[in-house]
């Protein structure tokens, strides 16, 4: 569990119009931010830049986990009661900027082995988490605390996450966040949801249909 998320009220998943009809390009204001922060397109959609990677590393290859137990990457992902298993070296931490814009308003659903610390910089969005037991949690991120929005949220390792942009005036329909991963991000710790079937197995047919835009 994660206090920052457990305390956020659960929200209905209603996609704003630009999820079905993305813009051709970002508005000038957001293009300026992309240029100033030197963001690039990300495989999950959106724009990102790795702004920090700790020069210190930790070597997990000597750790107590029996070797060979990580052949199935799913088994190496943590569950709510299990610590993550890493193989090899990791940076102590990494940090990125991540930006959603009306031309890139929705992410793919992915999971990381490491827990992921998110800090909102500007704008509004909505997150959707799918836990290993199929529980779905969705919450809004923004600075309207009165209405249950949160500006910090920590997604545990082994939990699928996805997000979409919510219309907002304060940042021209953008959402800029920072993400900190400890130990640091590696693609070998990263897993997109394989497809509709896996989603159906996790959450059932009806809810998988609702979450289809994240595939």
Residues near ligand GUN (CB under 6 A) are: 42, 50, 94, 96, 185
Using the minimum distance from each CB to ligand GUN, give the nearer residue, 18 or 185: 185
Q: How far is the CB of 68 from ligand GUN (least distance, A)?
A: 28
Q: How far is the CB of 187 from ligand GUN (least distance, A)?
A: 7
Q: How far is the CB of 96 from ligand GUN (least distance, A)?
A: 5
Place of tokens 């991000």: 185
Q: How far is the CB of 11 from ligand GUN (least distance, A)?
A: 24
HSE-CB for 146 with a 13 A CA cutoff: 0
Q: Name every residue whose Cβ is closer than 8 Å to that of residue 120 and which is 6 or more positions away in sequence.
A: 141, 142, 143, 150, 151, 152, 175, 176, 177
Using the minimum distance from each CB to ligand GUN, give the nearer residue, 51 or 63: 51
Using the minimum distance from each CB to ligand GUN, give the nearer residue, 86 or 208: 86
Q: How far is the CB of 39 from ligand GUN (least distance, A)?
A: 12
Contact 102, 19 (CB under 8 A): no
Using the minimum distance from each CB to ligand GUN, give the nearer residue, 160 or 185: 185
Largest Cα–Cα distance of the chain, in whole Å? 53
The C-alpha atoms of residue 113 and residue 205 are separated, in whole angstroms, by 26
Contact 100, 23 (CB under 8 A): no
The residue whose Cβ lies closest to ligand GUN is 185
Using the minimum distance from each CB to ligand GUN, give the nearer residue, 21 or 187: 187
């Amino acid at each position: 569990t994660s206090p920052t998320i457990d305390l956020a009220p659960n929200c209905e998943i209603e996609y704003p119009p630009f999820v079905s009809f993305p813009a051709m390009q970002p508005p000038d204001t957001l293009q300026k931010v992309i240029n100033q922060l030197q963001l690039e397109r990300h495989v999950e959609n959106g724009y990102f830049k790795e702004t920090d990677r700790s020069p210190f590393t930790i070597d997990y290859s000597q750790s107590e986990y029996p070797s060979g137990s990580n052949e199935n990457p799913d088994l190496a992902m943590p569950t709510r009661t299990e610590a993550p298993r890493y193989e090899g070296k990791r940076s102590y931490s990494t940090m990125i900027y991540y930006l959603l814009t009306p031309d890139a308003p929705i992410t793919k659903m992915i999971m990381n082995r490491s827990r992921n610390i998110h800090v909102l910089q500007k704008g509004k969005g909505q997150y959707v988490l799918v836990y290993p037991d199929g529980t779905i949690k969705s919450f809004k991120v923004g600075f309207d605390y009165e209405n249950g929005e949160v500006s910090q949220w920590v997604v545990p390792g082994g939990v699928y996450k996805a997000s979409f942009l919510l219309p907002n005036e304060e940042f021209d329909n953008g959402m800029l966040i920072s993400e900190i991963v400890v130990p640091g991000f590696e693609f070998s710790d990263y897993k997109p949801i394989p497809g509709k079937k896996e989603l159906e197995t996790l959450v059932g047919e009806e809810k998988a249909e609702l979450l289809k835009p994240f595939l």
